[in-house]
Amino acid sequence: MENRTPAHRLFLIGSAASSAMSPGLWGPVFEELGSSWTYEAWDVPAGQDMSGVRAAMLEADVVAANVTMPHKQWAAGTADSVTEPVRLSGASNLLVRDGRRLNAHNTDITAVVELLGGRHQRHALMLGAGGAARATLVALAGLADRVTVTDKDPGASQQLVDLATSLGIKATAVSWAESRDHAPGASLIVNATPLGKGADDEPAWGQARLSPEAFVYDFVYAGHTTATIASAKAQGLACADGWDHLRAQAAAMIPILGLAPETGQLLGRTLTHIRADG
Among residues 13, 101, 89, 92, the alpha carbon closest in space to that of 58 is found at: 101
List CB contacts of 65: < 8 A, sequence separation 6 or more: 10, 11, 12, 13, 42, 57, 94, 95
Provide long-range contacts, Cβ within 8 A and 24+ apart, for 113-116.
113/139, 114/248, 114/252, 115/217, 115/240, 115/244, 115/245, 115/248, 116/140, 116/143, 116/188, 116/215, 116/217, 116/240
Q: How far is CA 132 from the centre of its chain?
A: 5
Quick check: is 72 catalytic? yes
Select which of 72, 152, 170, 233 is catalytic.
Answer: 72
3-state secondary structure labels for all residues of 221-244: CCCCCCHHHHHHHHCCCEEECHHH
Q: Are 102 and 55 in contact (CB under 8 A)?
A: no
β-strands 38-43, 9-14 pairing: parallel
Edge-first strand order for the sheet with 215-218 is: 170-173, 146-150, 124-127, 188-191, 215-218, 238-240
**Distance of alpha carbon 127 from alpha carbon 150, whole angstroms:** 5
Residues annotated as catalytic (active site), given as ranges: 72
